[in-house]
Structure 1
Amino acid sequence: MAQINICLKHIFTVFNIFFMLAGGVAIALALWYQFFMDVRGYNLEGRSTQLFILYVVGCIAMMIALLGAYGAHKESKVALIMFLVFMVIGCLVMLIIGIPAAIIHPQLKGIVEQTFRRFVPLDKSSEDVRNMAEVIQEKFHCCGLFSYKDWENIPDSCVCSQEEEKEGKCQTVENNTFMLQRMSVYTKTCFPTIMDHIQFHYNIMLVVSFTLAVLALLGMILSSIMIHQLYYPNRHTIVVSMMPPKYEELHNTPAY
């Protein structure tokens, strides 16, 4: 005989579907991000850890969802207890990640700007930084992180085409490479574009962490109720009736 309320089972099934979808979204984001970076020739070195975490979180979320669905369907105490433990751990981990990230969020731009200013002048930075800067300049038609002066010797990736000069996207500057030769470079700097991308991915991390934390909390509540029903199957929900009790009607026997 079933010991878990059938409505609760349905609710828990819907929950596990959402939880599985959340894991699938995490995996899809990792795949999209990896494809996005590979197509544009960006160096993934240093980002492999973040991608690995997204893959692991997505796979674990999907496996936990399957465990919860199995536990509810088979009314398995062991599976539901394991599910509850994973939910507690997952909720704590997501809050540990999400809360500090949310606190840092208002200061994110200042922190990133301070970090990027250490790369100036770009000519004297590491080869990876120079290559990344030139790829970004070619892709987004910008020059320098904060100014074209970030380069002591302005590279070709900063040079405008004639069409862009006509559109007013360029400025004429002096390049130290060829005896102060004047050249036309992009007016737009690269840091605002880079910052937009960082903000976008940072916001995704916040949304994913707090969404998983809320789902984990909901999973804790639902699984706890089902475990309680399995351990105390004879305790029924007390329903208080607002209708007055029926009493037998007393009829006076008519006198003849």
Structure 2
Amino acid sequence: MAKINSRLKSLFTSYNLLFSMVGVLILVLGLWNDTWRQTDTELVREIGLVLLYMLGSLTLIFSLLGAYGAHYEHKLALVMFLVSTITGGIAMLTTGVSAAVARPQMVEQMEEMFKTALPLDKTTQRNKNAVYSMQKTLQCCGLFSYNDWQNQIPESCLCDVHKAVGSCTIVKHTSYSYGQMTKTIYSQPCFPSIVSYLNVGVDYIMGVSFTLAIMAVLGMALSSTMIHQMQDDVTKPTTVVLKVPAVFSPKKLPKYQHLFNTPLAAVFSPKLPKYQELFNTP
């Protein structure tokens, strides 16, 4: 079984724990927005909640996958985690940069879209209902001014002085039924509040995207290092020590004194025949 450095494994486990906490935090944020939302007609809000749920779920799943691969030293799980972090990191970085670049264009496009709905007293009923809900939620009147309603200021613009201190104003307008009359309405138009909420939303998107992108880069570095360690352990050659048998191993070597104090011929052949015996022997 391949071995991963214990310190690296502990660091990667801590990283996945932090990564899972980020996923849980994103899910809690989505649940909080879903529970405390004040209107059910905001399509952008619904899309944002779906994105939060998807992002939080994927973050939690990937963190559990990485923790499993590190604990059991499962190479396939680590490879899947590495691929997911690469893909997710590129997606988060692209989302953050796109949000930062598109912010001014979104404000301009929204302003042009709102101007096409003016005057509000002559727009479609669907647009009127959307503006009614917006005015109650944001405590504002009209998109750019209360004059957007001309002489048909709706009840959603009316301001209670006792509940909204400092945000009410008294205006005079001509009613078809009652003639000249005054009304206490919200002094703030809705478009600046919408732009403010839009900027906050874009800031959240950029913050979450860049944070997850940085964490993805860290996850890529850790997971690729562990995969490399596992690969090195598998492909490392096995060292075999061979013992060469002795070809010559005399049972009894001559002693030092005997070797140097005895004639050389007597050491290797102590009983050589004499010259006369060699040639005079039949």
Identify the TM-score tier after normalising by the shorter chain.
0.7 to 0.9
Are residues 1:21 and 2:21 paired?
yes
Percent identity, aligned pairs only, is 38
Whether contact under 8 Å (1:143, 1:189) holds in the other structure is yes
Q: What is the count of residue pairs matched by the alignment?
A: 234
Are residues 1:103 and 2:76 paired?
no
State the one-letter code of the partner of 1:197: Y
Point out 4+ residue stretches in structure 1 off by more than 6 angstroms: none
Distance in 2, Cα, partners of 1:165 & 1:69: 52
Distance in 2, Cα, partners of 1:186 & 1:177: 22
Moved more, 99-108 or 166-175: 166-175
1:206 matched residue in structure 2:
206
Deviations 1:84-112 (A, max 9, x none): 01011101111221111111234443333
Q: Tell me: CA distance 1:178–1:81, structure 2 relative to 1, closer, same or farther (3 Å).
A: same
Distance in 2, Cα, partners of 1:231 & 1:161: 71
Q: Tell me: CA distance 1:192–1:42, structure 2 relative to 1, closer, same or farther (3 Å).
A: farther
Whether contact under 8 Å (2:144, 2:190) holds in the other structure is yes
Q: Tell me: CA distance 1:182–1:120, structure 2 relative to 1, closer, same or farther (3 Å).
A: same
2:221 matched residue in structure 1:
221
Cα shift at 1:233: 2.2
Deviations 1:13-33 (A, max 9, x none): 111112112211221222122
Are residues 1:50 and 2:48 paired?
yes
Distance in 1, Cα, partners of 2:215 & 2:125: 43
State the one-letter code of the partner of 2:102: I
SS in structure 1 at match of 2:177: coil
Q: Tell me: CA distance 1:95–1:192, structure 2 relative to 1, closer, same or farther (3 Å).
A: same
Moved more, 167-176 or 55-64: 167-176
State the one-letter code of the partner of 1:64: F
Cα shift at 1:159: 2.4
Distance in 2, Cα, partners of 1:43 & 1:53: 17
Q: Tell me: CA distance 1:166–1:54, structure 2 relative to 1, closer, same or farther (3 Å).
A: closer
1:155 matched residue in structure 2:
154
1:169 matched residue in structure 2:
168
Mark the runs of 5 or more structure 2 residues left unpaired by the alignment: 237-282
- What are the residue-to-residue correspondences of 1:1-256 with 2, within 5 Å? 3-37=3-37, 40-152=38-150, 153-161=152-160, 163=162, 169-178=168-177, 180-184=179-183, 185-233=185-233
Distance in 2, Cα, partners of 1:172 & 1:101: 39
State the one-letter code of the partner of 2:153: I
TM-score (norm 1): 0.81
TM-score (norm 2): 0.74
Moved more, 111-120 or 4-13: 111-120
Structure with greater Cα Rg: 2
Whether contact under 8 Å (1:42, 1:132) holds in the other structure is no
Distance in 2, Cα, partners of 1:186 & 1:67: 52
Distance in 2, Cα, partners of 1:156 & 1:164: 16
Cα shift at 1:2: 5.9
Cα shift at 1:137: 2.1
Moved more, 216-225 or 105-114: 105-114
State the one-letter code of the partner of 1:159: L
